[in-house]
Structure 1
Amino acid sequence: MQLGYTPDYSEMITAGGIAARRILSPWQRYWCWPYYILLGLVAYGLGVTAGNFFRPEIGTHYANVLMICVMAVIYVAGSIIGVRLGRSLTARWLRKNKPERPVQFSVEPDGLQWRQSGTYTHLGFADIDRMVVTGDLVGFISAGNICYVPHRAFESVEQTKMLVRTTFERMTEQARQLSLKDVALRSMIAA
C-alpha cells in the first residue's frame, strides 16, 4: 500500500501531544510549568489588589471571596487562552518558516516507510511500541517518537482499517517470532 499526502502542521502538533501523553514523564510532559507559575503569580497579585481595593466598601469576608474568584478566573482563562494560542502560533510559525513537503507513505514487508524530500524514515514492525488511532490520524509510537498518517490520506475508512489490521497482525507475528527465538535460546541454554 502506498499513499501520498502533504502533512499539516496542526496534525504534527496533535501527534506530538499524543506522544507526550503516552510516553514522556510528567516533568517532560508539562514543560510549560514556568508559564503556569507566572500566570499564578499574576493572578494572585491581581486578586490581592482587587480584594484590597474593595475591602473598605464590601468588608473583609467578601473581599477575600472576591480575591479568590478573581484569581481563579484569571488563572483558568489564562490557561485556556495560553494553550490554544500557543498551539496556533506554533503551527503558524512552522508554516511560515518551514514549507510543508509531500510525503510518500508505504507498507513494506518488514515495516512502514515515510519518504519526504531526501528524508527517509523506516519503522520496523518489531520497533513499534504502540499504535494509536484518533479521529485525525493513525500514529505509530516507537522509542519516544511518533510517526503518523492522517485519515485524509486514505481513500476510504476501509483502507484505514486495513492498514491498522495489517500492521497489528505483522506486529503480532514479529512478537511471536521473537518469543519463539527466546524460548529456543532458553531451552538450548538449559540443556
Structure 2
Amino acid sequence: MQMIVMAACLVIGVGGYLMLGRPGMDDMPMDKRQHEISEKIRTAPETLTTAEALASLEQAAINQPNAPEPRYYIGEMLRGQNRPDDAARAYQAALRRDETYVPALVGLAQVLVDLGDGQVGPDAARLFARAYELDDTQVRAGMWAAMGAAQAGDQEKAAQMMRAVFAKLPADDPRRERFGAMLDVIGDGEAPAAE
C-alpha cells in the first residue's frame, strides 16, 4: 500500500512541476511561460536568460521527439554551464535520434575528453573518428582521433590517421604547417603533399 501512495505522490509532484514551470524561473504555468519565451525570441532574443533558452530548447525537444538538434543544443548549453555529465546525457539523447549527427558525436567526444582530464580515451577517440569519417571537414575531430591513438600507444595508427587528415587539407590551408609539425612528433615525419 505504501508503494501505491508513494507512486501517486510522485505522479502528482511531476504533474505539478510540469504545470508550474522550471527551476530558476518565477512560478508560472508552463504554457504561459512558453508563450512568454516565444514572444521574447520573436521580439528581443538577446534578452533571453540562460534558463529561458534552456526551457525553450526543452520545449523544442518535446515538440520534435525525433530531432537530434534540440538535444544537441541543450548539451552545448549544459557544457557551457560546466555540467559535463548532463551535457553528455543530452548529446547521447541526440545520438539516439540520429547516430550519424556529427555535432553530437563531436560534442560527446569532447565532454569525454573533459571528464578524462584531457586524455582522449578509447570511447572519445572512436566518436571523433566516426565524426571525421562522416564529415572530413571536421579536421579537429580527425586530429583528436589521431591523438587518441597516440595516447593509447599506437603511434603507427596515429601517424596513419594524421597523414590521412593532412592529405585532405588544401595546399593553402594554414593548418598544414601545424599538422606537419604534429606528424613529425607523432609519426615518421612524412607529410604527404596536398592533392
Tell whether the structures are fold-level matches, with TM greater than 0.5. Answer: no
Larger radius of gyration: 1
- Larger strand fraction of residues: 1
User: TM-score, with normalisation over the residues of structure 1?
Assistant: 0.30
- Which structure has more relative contact order (CA 8 Å, sep 6+)? It is 1
Give the alignment's TM-score, normalised by structure 2. 0.29
